[in-house]
Every structure is written in C-alpha cells, then in structure tokens.
A and B are shown apart, each in its own frame.
Chain A
Amino acid sequence: MTVVIGCGAGFSGDRTDAAGPLVDALLGYDAPRALMFETLGERTLAAAQLRRVQNPEGGDEPLLEAFLAPVLGDCLANDISVLGNFGAANPGAACRRIAELTSAAGFAEARLAVIEGDDVRERLGELDWTAWEGERRELPDAARVVAANVYLGAEPLIEALAKRAQVVIAGRVADPSLALAPLCHHHGWAMDDWDRLAAGALAGHLIECGAQVTGGYFADPGVKEVPGMAELGYPLVEVERDGRLVVTKPAGTGGLVTEQTVKEQLLYEIHDPAAYVTPDVILDLTGVEIRQIGRDRVAIHGVRGKPAPSRLKTTISFLDGHQGEAEISYAGPNAAARARLARDTLRERLARRCPPDLRMRFDLIGVSSVFDGDEMPWRESSRSTVEDVRLRLAVEHARREVVELATQELLALYCCGPAGGGGVRRHHEPRLKTASFLVPREQVTPTVVLNRGGEA
C-alpha cells in the first residue's frame, strides 16, 4: 500500500495558492492521503506568542484562511487528512477559525483535533533543562521569556488521527512529524520500528519546506534552469509500507523534481548526516540512495533509523534590546565616495551622540535603483558605468531611544550629509532572540482534544 502526503506550505510567508493543485493531484490517487502545512519557524512562534499576549484570540497563523479556505472542502469531502502547525501560539483559536471555515464549506460536523502541551512557558522553573549542543547561552531570565515551546513528535498527531480527526491543529510540532504521523497511522508502523520511522521522517523532511524540493530556492540562470517559477508545483511524497519513497509534484505545474533538487533539500539544515535528530527517531542519511525514475519523480531509499532521543529540543524566545535600520542612497558621479563620506560622518556623529556600547554596522549596497530602477534605461543609454550606492546602517542597543537617535542621525544626512543623498528609510523594533535547550521527554505531556464543529 502507498500513502501519499502533500505539503501546501513550507513557512508562514509561503505562497497561499499552492495547495489547490496539490489537492487536485491527491484526488487522483487511490490511496490514503494527507495534506500538511508547515508554517512555524522559531521566530514566527515567538512573534505569535507576542500577539497572543495582546489579544487572547490571537497568536495563531495569520494566513490560516488564505492557506485553507481554497482546499478545505475538497479535503473533507474526500477523506484527505489535513495536518498543520498553524496553531502556532494558540491552537485553540486556530481551531475556532477553522471551524468557521469548515462550516462555510458545508462541513459543520468536521472533526478537529487540537494538540497542546508544547507550550512550557509557565513551567520553566520546574523542568530539568540542559543546553542544546550548539547553545552557549544561559537559560534566560523568566521575566524576559516570550515563548518556550518543546518540539513535540508524531505521537499526539497519530492519536488524533486514530480518533478520526479530519484536521489536526498543532503548535510546535517537529516539522517532519506532520508527515510521519499519517504514515504511521495508515501503515501501522510501530513507534520503535526505527528504519520505517526514519523513512517517514525523511519523507517529511524532504517536503516540509514546500517548493524547496520541487525547484524553489534552486534556480541559477544558465547553470540550474527551473521552468515555471511563477507557478511552482509543491511536493507530494508517495511512501510504501516498507519505507521506500518517491518525491514528485502535480502534473502541469512549474518547477522540477530531480536528483539535484532532492539532494539539496536532503541535507538542508542538517549537521551530522549520520545523526539527524527528530523527536521520533534519529536519522542516518549516510546510506541514502537517490535515483531519477521518471520525469519529476525521484526515488529515495536506504535511510536508517536509531532510537528516539531521551530529551526533546525546546526553543525559548526572549526580548533583548532594540534594533534599528536606516538607509540612504547616492548615485551618479563619485557616488561611492559620497556614500563613504556619509558613513564616516555618521560614525563620528554616533560616537559623539550615542553610548559606546551601541552596536553598529554599515553596508554599501547597490546595482540600480534611484536613477532608473531594474530596467536600467538610463544606464543602457549612458556610456559611463553608473554608480548606485545605498548606505545601510544597522544598530542595536538595550534602550530604544538610543536606537532611534542613531537612525535619526542617518536621517539628518538629508541636510547635513554629502551632496545628493536621498530615499531615506528607517525603522526600529524590539529584538526577539531565541535559545535552544533540552528537556527530558517524560516531563512533556502532549494532549489531544477532539472538537466537533468547534465544540469540545
């Protein structure tokens, strides 16, 4: 038996019209099917948590309707499970929004499962923390912590599917687990069948970034050509019970699935390829074989699994100071020299006006902007090489007013800087930082709540 999983989004800012062709393709399979949405990054979650603080019904994925409304009815009508971490910091609120969508689609009785237990912000003091391997920071002071979320694995999602949930709404679940769960559910894989679990997690890893395996984030003109980049097909993975995988995409869409696109995604964000840690299984990719078996069809096999880790990764986000950016442009004769003079002037002003612990950086950016934009008609007609330089200042400081003063000094270059400066933009924001820690698996207790039409 084959189980087919599609991925309709690879991050919170992804294309919102990608899932339609995927669902059309899924409808063509006579097999168990699922559609996943991966919309949660470390900072996306922290930003969501900040929104929840401001509004108790906020903090879930802002684009929920845009992602789901075009396909939800077809999924419910055709038994295509939908799984997503679009609950972000507020899976309950996401469930209420999705219930409205299911009602509007004529499925008021749809079974919606909410996964909780990943949010441990209130439990910081009681859990037994150790640092994640790459982490050198101390556990931040609880008062500054905005979000603390454990990466849950596939088990609560499998439980939800076993309870016949049609839409599974999670917050921080490990990305590959969104695919692994329906695979375990339909294939009946045991939670210690490490090689099978590794295959399922690999299926999820390959599609979790959406188009990054189907020709997105790949094109290099003249070297790696990608057709139809404005209509990229998002990925489908066909998974056999023995763990063999085929990555493909809907017919008639742009992009491509080749050994090259699969290889690039295979090692994406991987450190030791012999030990890629997920909550469900540790993957060994050193024996993976990749083979093109047809147009836009690539087979993958040979992944091995090792027992799941005893500790789960947790991302802790905290507010730490303020950052600001400001830019100004210089173009035409001697532009680079004027931009450098502007920088030197700014340096002197900032040394005079801001505290010495202000962190700052300058960049000199530019191809073609203020004179003639991307078509470069003026440049084509002029015989000289035109300079187009944008001076960028980036600053960070504990105090907001210092950051504002620093970017104010760039703004002041309008009247006080070198000749011909223009196009200033500036903005400031609190700086959200993250750190990673590990918590014993047994201290984390995910819960599954099944709702029918939005009612628990």
Chain B
Amino acid sequence: MNNDVTLLHRYAHARAGDKGDRLNLAVFAHDTRHYAWLLEQLSEARVMTLFHHRGVTAVRRYPMPNLGGVNLVLDDVLQGGVNGALNLDGHGKTLSALLLSLPVTPPPGVA
C-alpha cells in the first residue's frame, strides 16, 4: 500500500479565468476515461472546503462530458479581485494550481 498523497495534478489539467470578483476554473482529465472519476473528486462541497481559507461563498459546477472536464465558478475567492485585492495575484490566475493540489484517490484501475 502506497501512503503517498496523490494530487489531482497527476490526472487533470486546469486553467483559471476571472470576471469581476468571480473566478472560473476549467478542469479536464488527462485521460477522458477518467471523467466520471473527476466529477466524483470535484464535488461543489469539496471545492468549497479547498478554497475556504480564501473566503469563497459559493461554488457552481458545470459538468462538460463533451470535453471530459468540468467548469467550476467560484464567488469571492479573489479577495476583492483586481479591484480590491492586496494580494500579488488579484486575477487569481495561479489558483488553477491550488485546485490541482487537491488530494485525490487515484482513478479505478490506476496504480
């Protein structure tokens, strides 16, 4: 049994985009056969928990089976966004990597 923590980064790629104080995270399985698994990992509740320290107030999830991915829309994680944030990355462009740092159980059939 391997006790190393596996991160979502191993099985998915992502890009962040902002509009106002909202962030979208488009996440795709490297192997589209892992799409159903990806959806299991990325419940709205889990994403809320991951971004809790950033002050997230809502997560909406848009499954995109045609793309083997999912679009996540997060409210209020930008700490004010480019308008109000005092952080270095007011756009939240780096937050795709925060999502990919989510610990996951590997997809079925994968060692």
Binding site for B on A (CB under 8 A): 42-43, 132, 134-135, 217-218, 220, 223-224, 260, 263-274, 285-290, 302, 323, 359-361, 363, 365, 392, 394-396, 433-436
Contacts and interface: CB of A to CB of B under 8 A. Distances in A.
Given A286-B66, A289-B66, A267 B26 contact: yes
B69 A263 contact: yes
Contacts of B14: 264
14 contacts: A134-B75, A263-B26, A267-B64, A269-B17, A269-B18, A269-B19, A270-B26, A271-B71, A272-B73, A323-B86, A360-B86, A361-B86, A434-B83, A436-B20
B17 A290 contact: no
Interface of B: 9, 13-15, 17-22, 24, 26, 28, 30, 60, 62, 64, 66-69, 71, 73, 75, 82-84, 86-88
B86 A267 contact: no
Nearest to B14: A264
Given A361-B87, A392-B88, A260 B13 contact: yes
Contacts of A268: 15, 17, 24, 26
Nearest to A315: B20
A359 B86 CA distance: 8
A102 to B, nearest CB: 35
A260 B69 CA distance: 11
A436 B66 CA distance: 31
Nearest to A220: B13
Contacts of B21: 134
Contacts of B13: 220, 223-224, 260, 264
Contacts of B83: 433-435
Contacts of B86: 323, 359-361, 394-396
A364 B18 CA distance: 25
